[in-house]
Structures are given as C-alpha cells and as structure tokens.
A and B are shown apart, each in its own frame.
Chain A
Amino acid sequence: MTFPGSLDDTDAARAVRYAGAEPVPLWHADRDLRGVDAVILPGGFSYGDYLRCGAIARFSPVMAELVPAARSGLPVLGICNGFQILCEAHLLPGALTRNAGLRFITRDVRLTVANTDTAWTSGYAPGQQLLIPLKSGEGAYAADPATLDELDRAGRVVVRYASSAPNGPAPNGSARGIAGVCNEAGNVVGLMPHPEHAIDPLTGPSGDGLGFFTSVLQAFAGAGLAGADK
C-alpha cells in the first residue's frame, strides 16, 4: 500500500517477493484492494506525519475498504508508520508516541517473539530472538493500564524488545517493552521495527525478518489462519 509519503513500500514489496509471493501495488486514493490475499502498510511519513503520525492516512479512500476487510479476517501487517495508521484506524489498540530520548533512532534491535499464533508470526518458534532494524522518531508504544493488562492476558503482544540497555528493555520507552501487537483474531499485526529490512544479511543486520512474510504464506497454504479462531 502506498500513501503519499510512504517510504518503505518498495522494501515491503521486495520482502514479499523474497518470500515467494507476488507483490501487488495498492494506491491510497483507490477504493480497491485488487483482490489481494494480504495487505502490508509500509513505513514512511504518510502525509508528512503532519498533525499526528497516521492520523490523516486513516481517512484515505482505500481505508474504507481495508478496515472492514481486516475485521473480516484479511491478514494485514502494519510496519512503523503502518502500525501507527492501524492504531489511528482503531484496528489495533494503543498509540505510538515520541521516543523517550525525543530523537529519531536507527538501531538494530533484538526482539523476542511472544506470540506465534498470528498470521504473520506462525513460522517462528515461541521465544525466538530476532535481530531487526528499528528506525523511528515516534515509536514508543502507549496504552492505558487496562489495555496493557488485557494485551498481556490475551497474549496479544506479538514481539517485545529484548535489549538489555541500562534504561530498561525498550530503546524508545515503549510500555512494557512492547514492539508489536495484534488484534483479537491475530490477522492484524502492527510493529515498529522493520522486518522488511532484515530479509538478507547483505542489506540488513540479518535475515530474521523474512519469517513475517513467509508465515502469512503458510497460513494461506495451510488450514486457514492459525490465529483466527483464538
């Protein structure tokens, strides 16, 4: 999906290709999902991130198609700005706020896979460690305590920051070290780090991120969505 200001859309398309699937470009102004089997909302600065990250993109014409499709089980992955858009669209709970250090951070971070029952993480082992780039200025996950408790209780935290930095586990100040969450059905996943930039050690810190894209293909090939009946 390309919004005005999307930046990592070609990278998301490359990751889809590396995983063995066909990337189909979707355009923000078209009320048309072109029959795709899954949607990736890529990183970037949609609409310049003016007003608030993702706040304008959620009103794009294509979102009128995407939101009901996601509620009906279409696998959707939001990366970085895409995660922010999914939160603004209320497909995922919580919000992303300024990094604790108030500066943009580019860093390879260690993540722990906390939930392997989602459409996008079924190919990982529980507790598996991933090395994936984080690059964002507003990546601190925030939600009220009740929501955070509910995410923990229902196992909806998909990945957590595993770094042992002195200021706590999350390099950006995310609540409870949360790097990514999913909806109740597990078909919609959002995360701040960029798995599409960890699909080849030549251009990324590892190939650990490819599993997000191969997982969703396994879900199509296998018996429906692994997390859909949760």
Chain B
Amino acid sequence: MSDKDTVEVAASTPGQPQPFAELGLTAGEYANRDILGRRPTAAELALYSVMWSEHCSYKSSKVHLKRLAPNEEQARKLLAGIGANAGVVDIGQGYAVTFKIESHNHPSFVEPHQGAATGVGGIVRDILAMGARPVAVMDALRFGPADAHDTARVLPGVVSGISFYGNCLGLPNIGGELAFDPCYAGNPLVNALCVGVMRHEDLKAAVATGPGNKVVLFGSRTGPDGVGGASVLASATFGGDGDGKARAKRPSVQVGDPFMEKLLVECCLELYAAGLIEGIQDLGAAGIACATTELAAGGEGGMRVTLDDVPLRDPSLTPAEILMSESQERMMAVVTPGNVAEFLRVCAKWDVEATVIGEVTSDGTLTMTWRNGTVVSIPPRTAADGPVYQRPMARPADLDSLQAAPPDGLDRPKDGPALRATLLALLGSADEADKSWVTAQYDHYVRGNTVLAMPEDGGLLRVDEQTRLGIALATDGNGRYCRLDPYHGTQLALSEAYRNVAMTGATPVAVTNCLNFGSPEDPQVMWQLAEAVRGLADGCAALGIPVTGGNVSLYNQTGDNAIHPTPVIGVLGVHDDVSRRLAAGFTTDAAQVVLLGATREEFGGSAWAHVIHQHLGGRPPAPDLDAERRLATLITTAASDGLLASAHDLSTGGLAIALAESCLRGGRGCRVSVAGDPFTALFSESAARAVVSVTPGREDEFARLCAAHGVPATVLGETGGDTLTVEATFEVPLPELRQAWESTLPALFG
C-alpha cells in the first residue's frame, strides 16, 4: 500500500486489498469500513486496528465490566470513575487520590527489562494525566516455576526494569506481590500500580474542547518503537513454538527513558499549577492514534492534526507508523492560543520538546494531513468506542472434576516434627520466602513520605506532614483459588487486599483491578472472566467500596494453555494518623498474641497442597465479606486507640506462616498454643483472619472491643524469646527460621 494513501485515493480504489489481518483486525471488523462510506486509508486502517484491539477497546470484556459501575453508597467518595484515565477518590482535607493498576504482560515476556520498565512509565503517565503528582508505585509479579530455566531470564530482567525505571523516576516502590506457578511459564504477569495525590481543584479531564484551541504534543520524539504494541503484541496469544515468535515481536516492545519521564512529570505539574492546560491525555497504548481520538471523542467537536509537524526520531516513518508508534514519555495537551507561548516556555525550562501539531475544530471530524494530502478523516467516536462483543461462554469442562478432588485424602503431617518440617518447607517455598532479593533493588525511601513498605502487609504513605493524613495500598491475587472458583477466588483476592490495607490501621475506601486472563476466544476463559467480574462486583458492593478503574489483559495464553484466571485486586485505604500505623513484626516483649477470626478446615488451593503435594483441587476457602468488614473496623479502631503493638493478616500458609513472619520481622520469638487439630490450626487458609499482639496492659480493653465488633478472638500466647514455639508441638529457633526464609531467592537468582 502506498504511503500517500489519501482519502481521495481510498475513495477511488475501493477494491484495493488491505493488510487488516496482519494488523490484528478480523474480517468481520474490517467489514465495518462501511462507516466511512469507502475503504479506510492505510493510516485509518492502522488507527482502527490499534483502537479496536482488545487492549484498547475492551471489546470482549466491556459487556461484563458494566457490572462494576458503582451504586449510590459506593459512588459517594468518587470524583471521577471508570472511563477516565484513572479513578479519583476524595480522601478528605481537600485531597484527592487517583490510582490504577495496569498490565504489561506480553512485552515483559518478549523483552523483560524494557517491557517491565515501560509498564511503570505508562501507568505513571495515566496518573499524571488526571492532574495528580504520582507519589508511589507497586508491582504485582507472577512467573513460571522459580527454578525453571526461563524464569531465570524473565524475573531478573523484569525486576531490573522496574528498578531502573522507578528508581530513576524518583517514585518509591512500596509493595506488591511475587508469585510463581507453572501456568505463568510462557505468560508471566507484570502488573504495575501507580498512585497520585492532588487537591480537589486540580482534577484534569481528557477532552479537547474549544474550537481554535491548539493541540500540543510534548515529551520524547516519536520513533519506530512499539509499533502495534497494543494490537499484534498485547492482543494476541503467543504461538507456542518456543520463543521464536515471541522474539520476532520484539520491535513491538517500547523502549523507556525514565529521565525524560521525570522531566515530563515536573513539567506537567508546573503547567497544571500555572493553569495552562484545557485538556490532557497521556500517550500509551496506540500512541497518537489513541490520544487524538480520545481527546476528540471526549470533546464536543473535532480535531485537525498535521502529521508532518510531529517531531520524529526517524524521518522515514509513514503516517500509519506515526499513529501506531508507542514511543514512551509523550503527552498531548489542549491549550488556548493565548497560552501557547507560556506553555512552550515552561516546557523549555524542563528541556521538554513541545510542538503544536493541530487544533480543535467544530466539524465533528478527526482530520489528519500529511504531505498536503488528507490521510485520516473519521468521526472520532467510531474509533474511540470500538466494537462490543458478546462472546460465548462455557463453564470449563474440567471444573467439576477439579472441584471434586479436594486435598482431603493427601498425607498430612501428624506429629510435631512433621508439622515443624511443613512450616520450614512452606516458609522456604518461593511463594512464601523473603522477597528482599527483589525489593532491595527498589528505592522505597525517595520523596520521604513512606511510612510502611514491603514486606509489610500494605504500603503506607504520608500525604500531609501537618495533619498526618495518609493512604495505604495493597495488591493481591491468587490464581489457584480463582482456577478452582473464579467468583469466590476473586472475592478472596479482594478480601485479602482489603484486609492488608486494614492491617496498617487504615480504612479501605476504593478498589482498582487488573484482570489477567487467557484468550477471550475460548468460551471457558470468557466464563472465568465473567465470573470473576461478577465476584468482584458483588464483593465490592458487600464491602461498600467502589471500583474506580482498572485494566483487562487477555490473550495470556500460549497455544491452548491459558494462565489461571488471575484478577489482581488493588485496594486503597485512608489513614487518619500515620504515626499510629501498625506493622506486622512483634516489637514488644510479653505482649499477648491473639488470633482474630474463625478457622475452618480449608485446604483447597492452599500453599500446603501446592508446595508439599503439587495438588490443585477442591474449593478455595469461603470468603466472608461481612467478617472482613468487621475485622477491618476492629483493627482500625484498635490502632487509633493504641491497643495494638502489631497486626498481620493471615493468608497463604495460614497461622504458621503469619507467626513466623511476625517473629522474623520483629526479631522476637513467641510461645503459643493452639486448640484442636494442630495441622488445621496452623496451616488452614480460612479468610477474614489476622494475628495481633496487644499493647501490654490493654488486653481487657481489646477483648471487649473484639466482642463489641463480633470478631472471634483467641488468645494464643505471648511474644518473647528467640524461638517460635507451639506448645507440645514444636519449636524453631529464629536463626533456623530466618535461614529457611531468606536463603531461597538468593539461591535461585544469585
């Protein structure tokens, strides 16, 4: 196809074959060209191919995501919701917080370092585009087996990419997840979260309003990197032919420059403060194609863009490539003509290149010219809205047999030494082991407001130095639970993130989500997706907190092998006084250790079944959202009353792992006794539980508070000594415990 494929040429050559399939469009989608009354030009075809990609259009998930619309209770604290670049939540005192989690799974498999780095960069620009100063990042990572050959390529690359980009950008990395499972071997999950803070009045919109206003592209120059990243890379499965095809997709991975991003952040914040921006949009997936169509579709009119004015790194780029390029560190703003000079002056101060490339019009059309020809002329909504599919769904054929095979019959540890060995095996497993090998490569101190960071249950940031207002964040997901039951598994992920936020003493207020699934063209995957979204919607309604936004990543599949359904849920909390934060470690001697919540025999999808028996079957633990809500309120109240010395949630590995972590983080042992079957007491994964140590002298007060909130409280023993001792069962000296916990990742990754 010719580079000078103008609208006139297209109208006069209706029969010319076009490479729609190579660009990722289906024949059915290509048939929609009737909306233009002619075949699309090469540039238009490129634009539609990326805008209608699964990654940008949510065409398969949209019908299900409708369920996440907030009800009245949930909407009360929302300043902007789903559909904006990121949701915005009122946290009081005039502050608003925006946060979002997004996937960069496919690029991170193809080129781990740059794939993960640009994942951080992309989500940071989303937050920036809302008018907020980005203040922290988190990352939720999932890889194949820890000892697999390819994990040794992917994991260090991903971690170095996040470290390189986030550290250089000056954003503290305050937490996240690291998990391993064979299902992620060919499809690692790299989900990055960013959170930003602003004053209410600083909220910005992604709209192009006011005919005559100028469209300014600023930041890095546009190059040939990341062309088709949203379509042929992110919205397709890997071929399953080893890594040959994956390697061939490397040019679709973007290359990041965190230094430019830092300049862009500071430049944007100065432009906002000076009131020089009418509308703003970040350039991420689908680059200029997406920014122009979304800005134009968000406004009331149209837009005219001169593609010749786009500053290029490579002058040989065609209009199609200019539109599809996903070169990083770029933003697009709408600026009144009178403000353009001042806008450019601020950009020059920060050494940020800025160019007027077009203007807002009132003709309802997005028009782009190149070398004196019109190469794009479309109604912007047709590109921005995209198709909507009601894909067929089917309950996975193997789900009944999977659920009918609970781990009940597996060999259980029967005596003290066997229980002790089980604890050490779980604690040393890659999923539960100390993550310092990863987290030590991230700066969590920069900006000086980090109160808690990994390995704590949730990250906690100070927002206001005077009032000590803060925000807490946690992300959680559990693919094994979701494989067994996506509805309840998603609610368990939500519950855990909610609980982790509460453990800091914060009140959970909002939810973001990253839905990682296989191919939507597989009805069984679509059923998993629908169930997960239904579980999330029902769960959030029960907890009374809204979903503010999120991201869907499909096609996480190699050949016919899809990943476990893996919704990763992020929860935001508000902390009234960060000086009263709680941490997981036992910090005080002779403090009463109390288990909160009820323990049932629940081992389906558990760490024990996975690590000891490589077993996955049965049903996951039963979520109890009402109990979660009561537990969270109890902890928040107890924290603000100073009743607790520590708080740690129970999750995978149960009470045994939680006690071990509290001992290791506080550098202090404990002596506890458990009632009933010690295996169930120590390793069951029942939800809505936590282990706390009580401020000495406040035990009765805390017991009354537990009763008042209807939270079962069981006194287990007390802190102190240098062993983890379970009466009449086993004791482990802390150095032995530490050795088991700390040696795993360094042994694997050097």
Q: Which A residues are closer than 8 A to B by beta carbons?
A: 4-5, 7-8, 10-11, 14, 29, 43-45, 47-50, 103-107, 133, 135, 137, 194, 196-197, 202-204
Contacts and interface: CB of A to CB of B under 8 A. Distances in A.
A202 B579 contact: yes
Interface string B574-596: 00001100000000000000000
Contact of A4 (B167, B350, B440, B462): B350
Nearest to A14: B448
Nearest to B578: A202
Interface in B422-451: 439-451
B448 A11 contact: yes
B389 interface: no
A103 B162 CA distance: 12
A7 B441 contact: no
B170 interface: yes
Nearest to B169: A7
Given A5-B168, A202-B451, 18 more contacts: A4-B350, A7-B170, A8-B170, A8-B448, A11-B445, A11-B446, A45-B170, A103-B163, A104-B164, A104-B442, A106-B444, A106-B445, A107-B440, A202-B462, A202-B578, A202-B579, A203-B445, A204-B448
Interface stretch (B108-116, B257-265, B674-682): B257-265
Contacts of A8: 170, 446, 448
A93 B60 CA distance: 61
Given A5-B259, A7-B262, A202-B451, A105 B440 contact: yes
Contact of A104 (B257, B263, B441): B441
Contact of B259 (A48, A196, A197): A48
Contacts of A103: 160, 163, 440-441
A135 B443 contact: yes
A90 to B, nearest CB: 24
B262 A106 contact: no
A198 to B, nearest CB: 9
B351 interface: yes
A203 B449 contact: yes
Given A197-B448, A203-B449, A105 B441 contact: yes
Question: Which of A11, A48, A104, A197 has the most CB atoms of chain B within a 10 A radius of its CB?
Answer: A104
A137 B163 CA distance: 10
Contacts of B442: 104, 106
Contact of B446 (A7, A48, A107): A7
A98 to B, nearest CB: 13
A103 B750 CA distance: 11
Given A49-B168, A202-B451, A202-B579, A4 B351 contact: yes
Contacts of B258: 45, 48
B462 A203 contact: yes
B163 A104 contact: yes
B461 to A, nearest CB: 9
Nearest to A103: B441
20 contacts: A4-B262, A4-B263, A7-B170, A44-B170, A45-B167, A45-B170, A45-B258, A47-B259, A48-B168, A104-B167, A104-B441, A105-B441, A106-B439, A106-B440, A106-B442, A135-B443, A194-B445, A202-B462, A203-B445, A203-B449
The 7 lowest CB-CB distance pairs between A and B, nearest first, are: A48-B259, A7-B170, A11-B448, A197-B445, A45-B168, A135-B443, A104-B441
Q: Chain A CB within 10 Å — which of B164, B168, B444 has the most?
A: B168
Interface string B128-167: 0000000000000000000000000000000010011001
A7 B166 CA distance: 11
A133 to B, nearest CB: 5
A50 B259 contact: yes
Contact of B450 (A47, A50, A203): A203
Interface string B336-350: 000000000000011
Contacts of A45: 167-168, 170, 258-259, 262
Contacts of A194: 445
A48 B642 CA distance: 44
Contacts of B451: 202-203
Given A4-B259, A48-B257, A48-B259, A106 B443 contact: yes
Contacts of A133: 445
Contacts of B168: 5, 45, 48-49
A14 B451 CA distance: 15
B448 A10 contact: yes
Contacts of B443: 104, 106, 135
A209 B449 CA distance: 16
Given A4-B351, A203-B462, A10 B447 contact: yes
Contacts of A47: 259
Contacts of B170: 7-8, 44-45
Nearest to A101: B750
Contact of A204 (B167, B441, B445, B579): B445
B156 to A, nearest CB: 9
Nearest to A43: B446
B57 to A, nearest CB: 35
Contacts of A49: 168, 259
Nearest to A194: B445
B429 to A, nearest CB: 23
Nearest to A44: B170
Nearest to B167: A104
Contacts of A48: 168, 257-260
Nearest to A11: B448
Interface in B249-291: 257-260, 262-263
A175 to B, nearest CB: 22
